[in-house]
A and B are shown apart, each in its own frame.
Chain A
Amino acid sequence: MVDDLYQEIIIDHSKHPRNCHAMADANRKAEGYNPLCGDELKLYVKIENDIVKDVSWVGSGCAISTASASLMTESLKGKSRPEALKLLENFHELLTTDTPVTQELGKLVVFCGVRDYPARVKCATLAWHTLKSALMNSGEPVVSTE
């Protein structure tokens, strides 16, 4: 049922998003846009010695994309850059494959319900695509999920 998708923690983070502000001293920034939904997001990352010291975001979107951005920022702080990229990979697997849920994902496992809603995978991954762009410094000003 639909409760599998909209778990309590997702509803909570969509209503009270964490780390939802701009960051003046960020040294990595990226923007994400989902043209199909109109969802948009700006991500701010502060990296020191290859460790994510701080991360924040601003943007607008549906409950899934808002909660995803919020929970992503919570789970990234203190992670090294390779750890963050590994987390991204695990998260993407969680959403798009039937592989068993791994413990490394922590709270992020609440998004496993998205698997059953293929049209909503883009909503959940927008923040993460943007993160990749920020961490890789791919030079693309705006990542798009299309």
Chain B
Amino acid sequence: MSAITSVISAAFDVDKIREDFPVLKQRIHGKPLVYLDSAATSQKPFAVIEAIRKFYEVDCANIHRGVHELSQRSTAAYEETRIKAKRFLNARAKNELIFVRGATEGINLVASSWGRKNVKAGDEIVISTLEHHSNIVPWQMLCEEKGARLRVIPVDDRGELLLEEYEKLLGPRTRMVAVGHVSNALGTINPVRQIVEMAHRAGALALIDGAQAAPHMKIDVQALDADFYAFSGHKVIGPTGIGILYGKAKLLNSMPPYQGGGDMIKSVTFEKTVYADLPYKFEAGTPNIAGGIGLGAAFDYVTRLGLDNIAAYEHELLLYGTEALSRIPGLRIIGTAREKAAVLSFVIDGIHPHDIGTVLDRQGIAVRTGHHCAQPVMDRFGVPATTRASLAFYNTFAEIDALAAGLAIVKEIFS
């Protein structure tokens, strides 16, 4: 470890943090679990598990509709998360935060509600090569329905978006630019502030898929000037099935509801229904209440640690991991962007990622293998799949050493 690394890691008490994550304490196939798959889903601290347990054990009731004590408690706890989400993203107002199932639903909400109303034949939607399928398919479906065209920003060999090519794609037909803040497959941190500004200059809106950014860096939707920003709770040490869609109030107000049902109305008769105001207009049906409350505890936890501290520590892990993997002969890291989150995607000559994943698993090391729901990225780099180690603030330098040692065994078996 370098001198700088040890200073940061000393300030960041990872051993103490790991005590908060019960899942990390187990052994897998007789070896200590080394969990390197946080880009797929992050592990949960006691605080989140406790918040969910408390809801079901003490406060369980439906929200927004009861005058009784339990309903008031659960409503207050659920709505408190909306306020925390507003602070987490630095939104202007709490009614700009819509509870959704995750980033995927957030993007589908915009593509379906905003898209159906505003996109017409011949219009264009711009995405990038780096997108997760969740930020490709909803737009493809919209384009197919409307006769609109999907344009794609290419990337260079490092996995960075080619902004001069992006500039050329923008024009009077561009309606929406939808890009990821951080690439799940490669870790590239995209210059989203600039991407949004360029979209606006062309008269288009911008949606940012923040699924991979929210757990790792401070997000300020006002500074980014993003029109929409979506992320999933389960990647930010929160529960599955809950996420946040941020949208500028003016846009959200102009959009039709996404789904109809209870809780999204002011009044219903068979002749006419008057929809609720924001944010409830977009929240039909009983939501994932426990998930929402658990997400609030997750926001508290990462805010207390400090997202700047998290980002600094994870960057040290990334540098250490990049160096460790680079020393392995025949290993090639895919995605070497200058601005990168703690994702190490790689291939090894002559060894298929699934074989790597199986051998690592037997040593207690959990990595993701496959196309990472980003097949166009794999095509761009000419590989069918990669092995991906994705890091979080609860990972250690020793775990990266374990990965390197595990890969040595992989090479031994298949040499």
Q: A residues engaging B (CB < 8 A)?
A: 1-3, 5-6, 11, 14-15, 36-39, 60-64, 117, 119-120, 123
Given A1-B362, A2-B413, A11-B414, CB of A63 within 8 Å of CB of B370: no
Structural contact, B359 and A2, CB atoms closer than 8 A: yes
Find A5's partner among B350, B352, B358, B371 (CB 8 Å cutoff).
B358
Given A2-B359, A2-B362, CB of A37 within 8 Å of CB of B354: yes
Structural contact, A120 and B359, CB atoms closer than 8 A: no
Given A6-B413, A37-B385, CB of A63 within 8 Å of CB of B362: no
In the complex, which residues 328-373 of chain B have their Cβ closer than 8 Å to any Cβ of chain A?
A: 350-355, 358-359, 362, 370-371
Structural contact, B378 and A38, CB atoms closer than 8 A: yes
User: Which residue of chain B is the closest to A39 with respect to CB atoms?
Assistant: B384
In the complex, which residues 130-186 of chain B have their Cβ closer than 8 Å to any Cβ of chain A?
A: none
Q: How many Å lie between the Cα of A62 and that of B356 in the bound state?
A: 9
Residues of A within 8 A of B354 (CB): 37, 62, 64, 120, 123
Q: How many Å lie between the Cα of A120 and that of B358 in the bound state?
A: 9
Residues of B within 8 A of A39 (CB): 384
Of B350, B353, B362, the most chain A CB neighbours within 10 A belong to B362
Minimum distance in angstroms from B383 CB to a CB of chain A? 9
- What are 30 of the A-B contact pairs (CB < 8 Å)? A2-B358, A2-B359, A2-B362, A2-B413, A3-B413, A5-B358, A6-B414, A11-B413, A15-B350, A36-B370, A37-B354, A37-B370, A37-B384, A37-B385, A38-B370, A38-B371, A38-B384, A38-B385, A39-B384, A60-B384, A61-B352, A62-B352, A62-B353, A62-B354, A63-B351, A63-B355, A64-B354, A64-B355, A117-B358, A119-B358
Minimum distance in angstroms from A13 CB to a CB of chain B? 13
- Extra 4 A-B pairs, beta carbons < 8 Å, given A63-B352, A117-B358: A15-B350, A37-B385, A38-B370, A64-B355
Residues of B within 8 A of A64 (CB): 354-355
Q: B residues engaging A (CB < 8 A)?
A: 350-355, 358-359, 362, 370-371, 378, 384-385, 413-414
Residues of B within 8 A of A3 (CB): 413
User: Which residue of chain A is the closest to B375 with respect to CB atoms?
Assistant: A38
Q: How many Å lie between the Cα of A6 and that of B409 in the bound state?
A: 13
User: Which residue of chain B is the closest to A62 with respect to CB atoms?
Assistant: B352
Q: How many Å lie between the Cα of A130 and that of B314 in the bound state?
A: 45
Structural contact, B414 and A63, CB atoms closer than 8 A: yes
Minimum distance in angstroms from A36 CB to a CB of chain B? 7
Residues of B within 8 A of A15 (CB): 350, 414
Q: How many Å lie between the Cα of A11 and that of B413 in the bound state?
A: 8
Residues of B within 8 A of A120 (CB): 354, 358
User: Which residue of chain B is the closest to A66 with respect to CB atoms?
Assistant: B352
Of A1, A36, A37, A120, the most chain B CB neighbours within 10 A belong to A37
Residues of A within 8 A of B384 (CB): 37-39, 60
Q: How many Å lie between the Cα of A61 and that of B350 in the bound state?
A: 11
Residues of A within 8 A of B371 (CB): 38
Residues of A within 8 A of B359 (CB): 2, 6
Minimum distance in angstroms from B136 CB to a CB of chain A? 16
Minimum distance in angstroms from B195 CB to a CB of chain A? 30
Residues of B within 8 A of A123 (CB): 354
User: Which residue of chain A is the closest to B385 with respect to CB atoms?
Assistant: A38
Residues of A within 8 A of B362 (CB): 1-2
Minimum distance in angstroms from A65 CB to a CB of chain B? 8
Residues of B within 8 A of A1 (CB): 362
Minimum distance in angstroms from B132 CB to a CB of chain A? 16
A-B interface, 5 closest residue pairs, ranked by CB to CB distance from nearest:
A62-B352, A38-B384, A2-B362, A62-B354, A63-B355
Residues of A within 8 A of B378 (CB): 38
Q: How many Å lie between the Cα of A119 and that of B384 in the bound state?
A: 18
Q: How many Å lie between the Cα of A122 and that of B384 in the bound state?
A: 17
Minimum distance in angstroms from B20 CB to a CB of chain A? 30
User: Which residue of chain A is the closest to B360 with respect to CB atoms?
Assistant: A2
Q: How many Å lie between the Cα of A6 and that of B413 in the bound state?
A: 8
Residues of A within 8 A of B414 (CB): 6, 11, 14-15, 63
